[in-house]
Amino acid sequence: MLVAEAGDLSPGQALDVGCGEGADALWLARRGWRVTAVDVSEVALRRAAAAAADASGRVAWARDDLTTTPPPVRAFDLVSIHYFPLRREPGHSALYGLLDAVTPGGTLLFATHSLSDLAAHRSVDSDPADYYQPDDIAQLLGLEPERVTFHD
Ligand SMILES: C[S@@+](CC[C@H](N)C(=O)[O-])C[C@H]1O[C@@H](n2cnc3c(N)ncnc32)[C@H](O)[C@@H]1O
């Protein structure tokens, strides 16, 4: 999805939310983006940085809990959120923190597994429906349905 949606964007500043081991951040950096890649996992960030020798200087790896530490406001031309487990909450403060990081005219890319694919993973402790889906975000932003793209 990153390739399909970001491949034609002009490089600028990107935020990779929950970057994991950094594949998306590196893909962006190799295309000229300057990337801030944030994850709560030190292990993931260490592995990401180890794989990033050719992109050094273009990716800033940062350890933060994005549910409690929002990124800078209006700082990123692209905010890329792929498979980031963000639990719904009243007031949506963590989600708004991520949405507010996009510059005016910038791009928000939000990808999740579909709820039907996740139905088998429901447990006593965790229900996939407790996490934000693209529809929630479109609704919060007041987007028309045609502004929302669904990929298989
Ligand atoms: C399913 S992985 C997705 C990794 C990557 N974005 C991808 O698409 O392959 C979710 C990542 O989000 C990170 N994460 C979960 N909660 C977080 C939080 N509150 N703040 C920052 N990172 C978090 C996890 O450590 C994990 O690396």
Q: Which residues of 107-146 are buried (b: 16+ CB within 10 A; e: fewer)?
A: bbbbebeeeeebeeeeeeeeebeebbbeebbeeeeeeeee
Q: Are strands 76-82 and 102-111 parallel, antiparallel or unpaired?
A: parallel
pLDDT in the model for residue 145 = 52
Q: Ligand 1 centroid to 146 CA: how many Å?
A: 28
Whose C-alpha lies nearest to ligand 1, atom 4? 20
Give the burial class of 73: count Cβ atoms within 10 A of its Cβ; 0-12 exposed, 13-18 middle, 19 or more buried.
exposed
Ligand 1 pocket by Cβ (under 6 Å): 18-20, 24, 38-41, 44, 65-67, 82-85
Give the chain's domains with CATH numbers: 14-114 (3.40.50.150)
Top mutation candidate among 84, 118, 126 for ligand 1, by most atoms within 8 Å of CB? 84
pTM as predicted: 0.92
Which residue stretches of the chain have pLDDT < 70? 116, 118-122, 124, 144-152
